[in-house]
Structure 1
């Protein structure tokens, strides 16, 4: 089967996607600079699929190394591009880091394939919708001014990809706008592994429950939502990984919508932060120590996606619910306590 380059393949979503690519018969090849991941994840992947995937450590922002890799790997037929900085709050504090890392890595990849037919799946985000006017938000909703530099990098990256696909005939591109990935692999051998202070909700929840953190802070309890906390469309990371495989398959057979397309990847329903906490307490049997704090810059109040297009055209839909998301996250946190990584 085809060789698929997975950039950021030792990261949270990337590692799960490597597993699902292998399960679908593909040969995944990983490029990662390990800036937000750990080399031991390769061993974890090997425990699941039985082989250690091919791995190359370098930064895709390095143009010469990126070009050399592409020249030395002419049999790669598809790319799934995860490698990027991804935390909303950090992007507000350090926007230049985000503009540099997220654009140079993308442009270097695209430039490297200027003369070669390539299938390209881009890791985008529901942040491109900003604060949506109506919910659930569809792919046809207007892309509004981003609420954070991170969201802006995703908006501009999509513009770069669309214009690149239009100008050159060799790129076939799908951007997956996904919502809030959570959960872990059923084996508890893979999960979210933040370096330092987590940037997402679930690691804060599980680390608080396991005793790594004294308490969890919920940012804002005065939003215009039923319980005052933000609402998100949480999606299990394994479902999300399978969506990338579905996107590669669609590009291989030829997307009838042309050589650039976008899909929402979510469950189609929203849960508040408080609902997520309640679901975790139920799934784990642990009572969480949490408090409310001030609102966080860049946070959207509520967003969840219409996933009709993904079901019909991508032939994909989420299968795992919030109970599985929370139970698997807790199982992973307990695994890490007994088997530290990093």
Structure 2
């Protein structure tokens, strides 16, 4: 809906920046909040070059309760897409308090101010980690939410519960998008995944190793009950994921949601092992990758990939890109960084 002003928290991050691009393409007015803790301000320039529109940007730490309240008093917002959160499974195991403060306290402050200022719609950046190790694959939205394998996963479970409780007593409507594993970069190569410090996710570690920035890639475990012994995930191109947010937002703005809070899996429906990813990356980019097998990492599940039927039918959304395209774009993005 053209003219709607949408707040994107964490909008200079990996998924957030791609979603801002898609929002602007659809005619939405975007305002970004980001504390720049895991990204760079230059991402704003990349967004602007792609869309020819410079979104409004406010540097703000959502942990600062009074600053959040002031922001909402100063801006009329029609909806919020909430990305701002710490996101690494391994780091969350090592530093759980950081994750509970950064992912839960900030969500509470955000929701309080949405309620106080009559902001009606929320898209929540959730995760397939809420399912833990699912009993059946592919995973549907009806799969039970299990005790989380990591503090990160737990923050997504708790976040969903908090939002659900609020929607029961407030006019806010919400959609939780349960992502599988976002990878890749925009085809312009102007924005992509740009972690600060040591990468916590597989693909930037793959690309940085291929570029010679890392000595070798560690593959965490080869004794899982999977075809090649390595963990299996559903890798979705970040542009496909960004477009899912547009579909979800339009659903809420048009009042097409069937309940006050809805949940959708966002993935490709195809599982790929870590070794699959390495082999495809080497093939499509014609480059050798140095890697070694190490012990399993605490918090990791064996296998997770999505049943996307509900998102396909209700949101009118479907992943368009495959693993090869995503890994090719990730490498092109990395080459631009060297």
| Cα distance between partner residues in 2 of 1:118 and 1:62 | 22
- 2:12 corresponds in structure 1 to 10
- 2:288 corresponds in structure 1 to 287
> CA 1:210/1:3 → structure 2, altered by over 3 Å: closer, same or farther?
same
CA shift, 1:24, in A, is 1.0
Alignment of 1:1-342 (within 5 A): 1-74=3-76, 76-115=77-116, 116-168=118-170, 170-337=171-338
| Cα distance between partner residues in 1 of 2:115 and 2:13 | 27
Cα deviation, 1:132-188, whole Å, max 9, x if unaligned, reads 0000010011000000000000001100011110121x2010000010000000011
CA shift, 1:27, in A, is 1.1
Stretches of structure 1 that go unaligned for 5 or more consecutive residues are 338-342
More displaced 10-residue stretch of structure 1: 112-121 or 23-32 = 112-121
Structure-1-length-normalised TM-score: 0.97
| Cα distance between partner residues in 2 of 1:29 and 1:100 | 24
SS in 1 for 2:49: helix
Stretches of structure 2 that go unaligned for 5 or more consecutive residues are none
CA shift, 1:50, in A, is 1.1
Cα deviation, 1:73-111, whole Å, max 9, x if unaligned, reads 02x101000000110000000000000110111111110
Number of aligned positions between the proteins = 335
> Would you identify which runs of 4 or more consecutive aligned residues in structure 1 move more than 3 Å?
none
RMSD over equivalenced CA pairs, Å? 0.8
CA shift, 1:256, in A, is 3.7
| Cα distance between partner residues in 2 of 1:117 and 1:147 | 33
| Cα distance between partner residues in 2 of 1:15 and 1:256 | 25
SS in 2 for 1:185: coil
| Cα distance between partner residues in 2 of 1:130 and 1:113 | 30
Cα deviation, 1:32-76, whole Å, max 9, x if unaligned, reads 0011111111111111111221000011111111011001002x1
CA shift, 1:117, in A, is 4.0
| Cα distance between partner residues in 2 of 1:217 and 1:81 | 31
| Cα distance between partner residues in 2 of 1:57 and 1:310 | 33
| Cα distance between partner residues in 2 of 1:49 and 1:218 | 38
SS in 1 for 2:102: helix
Answer whether contact 2:79 2:119 (CA < 8 A) is retained. no
| Cα distance between partner residues in 1 of 2:258 and 2:144 | 19
